[in-house]
Amino acid sequence: MSDWFLQQAYGVRFEWGPSGAQRLGREAACLVVVDVLSFTTSVSVAVEAGTEVFPYAWRDETAAAFAREKAAAQAVGRRAATPQSPWSLSPAALRRAPFTPRLVLPSPNGSAIAAAAGGSSVVAGCLRNASAVGRWLALHGYGTGERPVAVIGAGERWPDGSLRPALEDLLGAGAVIAALEEQGVGALSPEAAAARFCFTGTPDVAAAVTACASGLELSCAGFADDVAIAVEVDAATIVPVLTDGAFRQGEAQPRGA
């Protein structure tokens, strides 16, 4: 694939899914994962409570072994949560569950994107913490030609496994990009500018996410509380940063500042 697809002329870039993360992550100094109705909103809720979150790409028997290796609790699927295993890929369930200091959070989309970053820094962004992420990126010098940032919308999957770009992740990515631009940082690629415009041009972001296909899917399945938490726009001030294999609250200032 041509290098033109890497948006190399710009400090702030936008792409979709694990493949987009793998390609843009080769050159990006920082990669922001956005998975609004699942992974990154759950990460924001857990890290906000003081939990270290270990992403893991597979929800199978290997996840249990990985959790034992990390001396961590293991999150299960939304419908598989029980009183004995109350942690799941559900922000509402994570808020209700007992505190755990370490949690393995399996996610085929969000975790796969984080793993595709290579040597880049990785941040979990969502609508809940978009402004905080934008400020953190600017404070740490990301978003310039020398230190580009790639914002990656996780999207969903069609039954055949192909990527379905999802409105909620486009809006979440646009929120992060808009917040970064407000800090006076970097030139936006046309892809990033379009995502930003999608966010700023949507009169009621919470209503749009609630009424979109993914929001309706969750609500009709009995998880309307998860959608409600996901649209708490800028309710969180924490920035989960992947450090030594786990998402933890990022430093307020860069080291040496």
- Whether 188 is covered by a domain: the verdict is yes
- Answer yes or no: are the C-beta atoms of 38 and 109 closer than 8 Å: yes
Integer Cα distance of 94 and 100 in angstroms: 10
pLDDT digits (tens, 9 = 90+) for 103-126: 999 888 888 888 777 667 999 999
Burial of 187-196, coded b for 16+ CB within 10 Å and e otherwise, reads: bbbebbbebb
- Whether 54 is covered by a domain: the verdict is yes
Under 8 Å CB-to-CB from 158, ≥6 apart: which residues? 164
Q: What is the CATH number of the domain that holds 53?
A: 3.90.1560.10
The whole-number average pLDDT for the span 155-178 is 95
- The residue assigned the tokens 């990301």 is 142
- Whether 247 is covered by a domain: the verdict is no
The whole-number average pLDDT for the span 234-240 is 97
SS (H, E, C) 14-45: EEEHHHHHHHHCCCCCEEEEECCCCHHHHHHH
For the chain, what percent of residues have pLDDT higher than 90?
Answer: 75
- Whether 127 is covered by a domain: the verdict is yes
- Whether 8 is covered by a domain: the verdict is no
Helix (H, G, I), strand (E, B) or coil at 11: coil
Domain count across the chain:
1
Integer Cα distance of 119 and 111 in angstroms: 15
> Between residues 5 and 14, which one has the greater pLDDT?
14
- Answer yes or no: are the C-beta atoms of 187 and 181 closer than 8 Å: no
- Whether 3 is covered by a domain: the verdict is no
pLDDT at 253 over 70: no
Structural domain including 210 reads 15-241
- Whether 65 is covered by a domain: the verdict is yes
Integer Cα distance of 179 and 196 in angstroms: 9
CA distances from 47 to 1, 99, 105 (A): 37, 11, 12
Residue 96 tokens read as 């209700």
- Whether 120 is covered by a domain: the verdict is yes
Helix (H, G, I), strand (E, B) or coil at 148: coil
